[in-house]
Amino acid sequence: MFTGLIEAKGIIKKFELTSSGARVDFMCDFIQPETIKTGDSIALNGVCLTVSDKNQNIYSADIMKETLNLTNLKNLKNNDVVNLERAVKACDRLNGHIVQGHIDTTAIVKNIIQDGFSKRISFKCNTELIILKGSVAVNGVSLTVANVNNECFEVSLIPLTLKDTNLGNLKISDIVNIEYDITGKYIKKFVENTKNTDRKILTEEFLRENGF
């Protein structure tokens, strides 16, 4: 699990597509590199990957075909800048929101507007699970939704976020990874299951009829 607070930016050193998936090597100077070991989880542009190899400040991970199909990782190139976050500790503050590293879809950058010291960026994607003032992870960055309609949502980025993540490098038509808030996904599933069942809804009347 992650929080959507990016720890560092990394550089893609090698990205190799194969018939069975892909392998990525990325360089990053984490503050405490000795704490990262083979088998650890790292979110790269919001995608939860497992460290398969480590050589000083170069880390390697394997990417499954399903992940390539669902994310923008298939578009990685050497020297690309990526967002990195290690898995959260149970004792840490949850300063962002609960991010699983399981990408739901991708979005296209539709508009970028300079707004004082901040930037307003709008993205086009399925917004069914996005609500005004709710949380969404864009390339692994926990953000608050500033505006939303049926086909786009907008966020406002402060200078620190623009500097410390790769969102500051975004251009019109760029593709980003999107992870919806897990709470909204659970609620949607619960409502769908309720509609597709013959079971009675739990109400006060139902409880009285059954002796409670």
- Of the chain, the percentage scoring pLDDT greater than 70 comes to 94
Give the DSSP H/E element, type plus range, for residue 66.
helix 65-70
Q: What is the pTM of this model?
A: 0.88
Residues of the chain with CATH 2.40.30.20: 8-86, 105-186
pLDDT digit string (tens) for 90-140?
Answer: 888 888 899 999 999 999 999 999 999 999 999 999 999 999 999 999 999
* Structural contact between residues 169 and 81, judged by C-beta atoms closer than 8 angstroms: yes
What single letter denotes the amino acid at residue 53? D
Q: 8-86 belongs to which CATH class?
A: mainly beta
- Tokens for 192, please give them: 């769908």
* CATH architecture label of 105-186: Beta Barrel (2.40)
pLDDT digit string (tens) for 65-92?
Answer: 999 999 999 999 999 999 999 998 888 8
Query: What is d(CA 203, CA 212) in angstroms, rounded to the nearest whole number?
Result: 11
